[in-house]
Amino acid sequence: KQEVTQIPAALSVPEGENLVLNCSFTDSAIYNLQWFRQDPGKGLTSLLLIQSSQREQTSGRLNASLDKSSGRSTLYIAASQPGDSATYLCAVSLDKLIFGTGTRLQVFP
């Protein structure tokens, strides 16, 4: 059974810091891995999708890497801003998504 773990569970940093959020999964048989952000009381916003054949994806200040053989992904956020405050979720997929429990990020000015 696929299990997805995210560490840390919570993170509070001053504005401007570079951050690394970690995601690990137990079964490497995945089609893709997706990173989302969830703002309080709102739905999920897709940030990055990494196909199983890819090693990384970049979008603006975000970079996600995937090491399928070791069952790990990292989300790197450069030059963090208060607007980045949210819960970040990783999810792995064969068809349905299996979600981690998230990292709650707070960036303070």
Partner 1 sequence: GAGVSQSPSNKVTEKGKDVELRCDPISGHTALYWYRQRLGQGLEFLIYFQGNSAPDKSGLPSDRFSAERTGESVSTLTIQRTQQEDSAVYLCASSLRGEQYFGPGTRLTVT
**What residue ranges bind partner 1 (CB under 8 A)?**
31-32, 34, 36, 42-46, 49, 51, 89, 91, 93, 95-102
- Beta carbon nearer to partner 1, 96 or 109: 96
- Beta carbon nearer to partner 1, 71 or 100: 100
- Beta carbon nearer to partner 1, 13 or 32: 32
CA 82 from chain centre, in angstroms, equals: 17
Task: Name the burial class of residue 63, with classes exposed (0-12), middle (13-18) and buried (19+) by CB atoms within 10 angstroms of its CB.
Answer: middle
Check if the beta carbon of residue 93 is closer than 8 Å to that of residue 4: no
